[in-house]
Amino acid sequence: MRYFLRRAGFFAATLWAAVTLNFLIPRLQPGDPAETIVQKLSGQNKAIDPAQVTAVRKMLGTPDGNLLQQYVDYMGAVVKGEFGVSYTYFPYPVTHMIGQALWWTVILVGVTHVISFVIGTLMGAWAAYRRNTRTDSFITLGSTFVGTLPFFWLALLLIYVFAFTLNWFPERGGWGPGSTPGWNWLFISDAVQHSVLPGLALLIVGPIGWIIGMRNNMVQTLGEDYARLARAKGLPQTRIALTYGARIAVLPNVTGFAMALGGILGGTVLVESIFNYPGLGRMMLDAVSNRDYPLMQALFLFITIGVLLANFLADMLYGVLDPRVRKEAAP
């Protein structure tokens, strides 16, 4: 119990620090989003009217007052789930825009993460079980080679082959002009077709880290004394590999998988930009480009909370799966 309470305390302290930094960092950045908007409307070579800048600030609801008052107001807004109006997608609130893009990223990145973890863990365990054989060499060398290929090159290659040459799947976007977003079969099938190429691009490189990590962990575990003792007792190799090898070697992968799931809320900026996919990654890129501070703060906060919560759950799960962790934390 002491271990779990300590993890919970660390989580609360880290969350407070992350929220505070999320408040301070955008305010330390140079530039004024209101001036940027007025400059775009009036032209790059024209002088900025201070009255227009003031009007845009009031329209956007730019926070004023001293820094301490802004911090108190910001913490209250975070507790209420209010993040203001997006500068990029004005007059829509930040929560509305994030809610629209959230499910696109969660479904695409979440599904590919789970599939990549399962495939990578199984292939890594099989490579470790067949270590120093052709199977081991094929899996490890093949995954290492694929990992050296530039990701954007793989994505563009998929677009060229399956979208332009074979014309099997759409090359960009989340849905086509002939369908209306909603819970109907036409839109769902159209969205699935548009997600095939981005998902395939993620699945090509996704399992590589899990393969290498699981293979190395399991090889090291099978070399421990308890594994040698099991062999000396005459236990079957399959049981040794599963019970003494994979069961323990998978623990670091479980932690990494939980943290990777926490990073889903950040989306995949490169994938969503290449395929023009309507997810959180592309939205973050638009927010940074337009100095959309409310949207940036909300997205960074979502990512931070997701990673911290995933890390906290991984610590809890690690304590359940490995009793040695709880014993080491006990006084």
Chain segment 255-301, per-residue pLDDT in tens: 777 767 666 655 577 787 788 888 887 888 778 777 777 788 788 88
Mark which of 37, 56, 80 sits at the end of a domain.
Answer: 80
**DSSP three-state, residue 173:** coil
Question: Using CA atoms, how far apart are residues 60 and 64, in angstroms rounded to an integer?
Answer: 12
Say what the alpha-carbon torsion angle 107, 110, 114, 120 is, to the nearest 10 degrees: 120
What pLDDT does residue 299 have? 82
Q: 51 and 178 share a domain?
A: no
Higher pLDDT, 147 or 258: 147
Q: Is residue 86 in some structural domain?
A: no
* 85 lies in some domain: no
**Residue 38 sits in the same domain as residue 164:** no
Q: If pLDDT is split at 50, 70 and 90, which confidence band does 197 have?
A: confident
What number is the average pLDDT over the span 121-143? Answer: 84
Say whether pLDDT at 168 is over 80.
yes
Asked if residue 29 and residue 166 are part of one domain, the reply reads no
Tokens of 79: 């507790």
Residue 276 is predicted with a pLDDT of 81
CA–CA dist 87, 292 (Å, integer):
5
Using DSSP's 3-state secondary structure scheme, residue 93 falls into strand
Total structural domains within the chain: 2
